[in-house]
Amino acid sequence: MNNLKQRPVHLNLMKIRLPIGGIMSIIHRATGIVMFLAVPWLIYLLDLSLISEQGYQDAISLLHSPIGVLMLFALMWSLIHHLLAGIRYLLIDIDIGVEKLIARKTAWLVTLLAPPLGLALTWGLL
């Protein structure tokens, strides 16, 4: 019993370093949650825009408000990141990009490419 290694009593989450693939995987899950939680807001905007011409103008003004722009950017970033990560995972499923170096590079590519593409998509929608 005395020869066993001393195991930690608690984990210090600030000292654990995830590889970029793990970070991207967590972001992939978070973006799925963001998209799911955005559905009621999007349904509200659709309903508001279909009520009348004034409702349509109200929906447009909501989207152009600072909070609306921020929410739209979060949604577009989530959509792009989730799409790119999903394509990456599909390629990994068919044994493309499984090697450690390529997997790391594609994880970095997805993580770094999604925010500017989300910003461009948001700018294009507004």
* C-alpha–C-alpha distance, residues 84 and 49, integer Å: 30
CB neighbourhood size of 73 (10 A): 18
Confidence of residue 28 (pLDDT cuts 50, 70, 90): very high
Are the C-beta atoms of residues 124 and 99 closer than 8 Å to each other? no
Q: Taking the alpha carbons of 87, 115, 14, 12 in that order, is the dihedral positive or negative?
A: negative
Which residues lie closer than 8 Å to 99 by C-beta, 6 or more apart? none
Set out the domains of the chain in order of their start, with CATH numbers. 20-125 (1.20.1300.10)
pLDDT band at 3 (very low <50, low <70, confident <90, very high): low
In which band, very low, low, confident or very high, does the pLDDT at 126 lie, cut at 50, 70 and 90?
confident
Q: Is the pLDDT score of 18 beyond 60?
A: yes
Q: Model confidence over 57-87: pLDDT tens digits? A: 999 999 999 999 999 999 999 999 999 999 9
CB 52 within 8 A of CB 1: no
The confidence score (pLDDT) of residue 12 equals 76
| CA–CA separation, 101 and 15 (whole Å) | 24
Q: What is the pLDDT of residue 38?
A: 96
CB 97, CB 103: distance < 8 Å: yes
Average pLDDT, whole number, for the chain?
A: 92
